[in-house]
């Protein structure tokens, strides 16, 4: 209806012979707001690791590591997630055959396509689709970099339209690098490869020499890179960030790192917190999705949680508040 109010409808029924009924008048006043949806809870967690969230057309789409290929979960409230019955990426549509890890999906308006960057067989790949739910298809059955292993891809497009791909290379441990992408978003300019983050601080090297899971965004004139450090099996797997005045660095690590670890209030008792990504919600504020261990005594299955992400007036990034503990559900 064009506006809220009381409406009067006059109804006449006509049968197949053209006979008309007497007029019936109905008066109706709709509710001002739709009734909230009701859900049946299927699983008391969101069972993905290395999670990523895309907000598109009033809905949230979550992707992560769990099966061969990638699932997609859809939500309107960040608490209740509905698992799509069809894989977003089926291995048959990918170059890889195993070790499908860390998918991230972006909508590129200029191309009117969705791009999924991910790792398979420890090589970085990209697939495209016309819907955030997929099916995603790798157009060229070859990794982005065919002659070198790599994992944990993340895309950032700067204000001038230049695309950058951040990913982990195995160069003296897990090290985060960046390369400028070609306009097709299917390949990189290898001559632009630049090292960004290595595991050099004590908090980053409690277990293994690992810096991974990069996620880059820009606020004002500052570029932020959120990343994780330590082996993912460690209770001390944790999240830190670095800043730069350029998308290729040099990057300065925050002196107060880590900003999320089992001893931070925002972890709310979780251990093994890390490898997530920031995303904007409907009101324009940021949240951060990440995974944690199943419990203090068991790593698997890793599941995902969501916290608020704030940036202070002086540019300090914080992960705060009690985590949202998502569930898998279906509409009643």
pLDDT in tens, 289-312: 999 999 999 999 999 999 999 999
| DSSP 8-state class, residue 50 | E
**Count of CA atoms in the C-beta half-sphere (13 A) of 118:** 38
The per-residue DSSP string of 186-223 comes to S-B-GGG-EEEE---SGGGGSSSSBEEEEEEEEETTEE
Q: What is the C-alpha separation between 66 and 51, in angstroms, rounded?
A: 10
> Over pLDDT 70: what percentage of the chain?
99
pLDDT band at 320 (very low <50, low <70, confident <90, very high): very high
> Over pLDDT 90: what percentage of the chain?
89
Q: Which two tokens stand for residue 214?
A: 């990069």
pLDDT band at 4 (very low <50, low <70, confident <90, very high): confident
The helix (run of H) or strand (run of E) holding residue 157 is strand 151-157
Structural domain 37-331, CATH architecture: 5 Propeller (2.115)
pLDDT at residue number 2 = 62
Q: What is the C-alpha separation between 71 and 89, in angstroms, rounded?
A: 7
Characterize the bridge pairing of strands 327-331 and 80-83.
Answer: parallel
Question: Average pLDDT, stretch 250-257?
Answer: 98
The helix (run of H) or strand (run of E) holding residue 239 is strand 238-244
Domains of the chain, by residue range, sit at 37-331
pLDDT at residue number 1 = 56
Q: What is the C-alpha separation between 315 and 39, in angstroms, rounded?
A: 39
- Work out the number of other CB atoms within 10 angstroms of the CB of residue 85: 7
Give CA torsion, residues 198, 201, 207, 208, to 10 deg: 20
Reference 37, options 90, 86, 87, 75; nearest CA is 75
- Dihedral (CA of 264, 269, 273, 279) sign: negative
pLDDT at residue number 149 = 98
Question: Average pLDDT, stretch 172-200?
Answer: 97
Residue listed under structure tokens 């994992």? 151
pLDDT band at 61 (very low <50, low <70, confident <90, very high): very high
Residue 194 pLDDT exceeds 80: yes
pLDDT at residue number 278 = 98
CB 305 within 8 A of CB 294: no
**Count of CA atoms in the C-beta half-sphere (13 A) of 114:** 20
CB 84 within 8 A of CB 133: yes
Arithmetic mean of pLDDT over the chain: 96
Reference 24, options 9, 14, 42, 2; nearest CA is 9
Question: Average pLDDT, stretch 38-58?
Answer: 98
Q: What is the C-alpha separation between 234 and 240, in angstroms, rounded?
A: 15
Q: What is the C-alpha separation between 272 and 139, in angstroms, rounded?
A: 35
């Amino acid at each position: 209806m064009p506006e809220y109010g009381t409406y009067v409808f006059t109804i006449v029924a006509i049968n197949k012979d053209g006979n008309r009924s007497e007029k019936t008048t109905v008066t109706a006043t709709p509710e001002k707001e739709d009734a909230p949806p009701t859900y049946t809870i299927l699983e008391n967690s969101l069972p993905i690791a290395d999670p990523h969230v895309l907000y598109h057309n009033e809905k949230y789409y979550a992707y992560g590591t769990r099966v061969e290929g990638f699932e997609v979960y859809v939500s309107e409230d960040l608490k209740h997630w509905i698992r799509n019955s069809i894989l977003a990426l089926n291995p048959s549509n990918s170059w890889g055959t195993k070790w499908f890890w860390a998918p991230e999906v972006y909508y590129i308006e200029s191309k009117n396509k969705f791009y999924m960057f991910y790792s398979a067989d420890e090589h970085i790949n990209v697939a495209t689709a016309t819907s955030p739910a997929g099916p995603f298809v790798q157009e060229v059955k070859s990794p982005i970099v065919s002659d070198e292993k790599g994992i944990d891809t993340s895309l950032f497009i700067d204000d001038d339209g230049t695309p950058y791909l951040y990913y982990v290379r195995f160069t003296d441990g897990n090290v985060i690098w960046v390369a400028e992408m070609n306009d097709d978003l299917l390949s990189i300019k290898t001559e632009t490869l630049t090292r960004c983050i290595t595991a050099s601080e004590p908090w980053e090297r409690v277990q293994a020499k690992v810096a991974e899971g990069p996620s880059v965004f820009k606020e004002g004139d500052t570029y932020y890179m959120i990343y994780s450090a330590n082996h993912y099996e460690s209770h001390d797997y944790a999240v830190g960030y670095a800043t730069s005045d350029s998308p290729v660095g040099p990057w300065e690590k925050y002196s107060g790192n880590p900003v999320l670890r089992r001893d931070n209030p925002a972890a709310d008792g979780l251990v093994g917190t890390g490898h997530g990504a920031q995303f904007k919600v409907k009101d324009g504020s940021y949240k951060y999705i990440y995974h944690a261990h199943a419990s203090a005594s068991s790593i698997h299955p890793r599941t995902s949680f969501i916290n608020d992400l704030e940036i202070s007036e002086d540019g300090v990034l914080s992960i705060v508040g009690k985590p949202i503990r998502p569930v898998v559900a279906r509409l009643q």
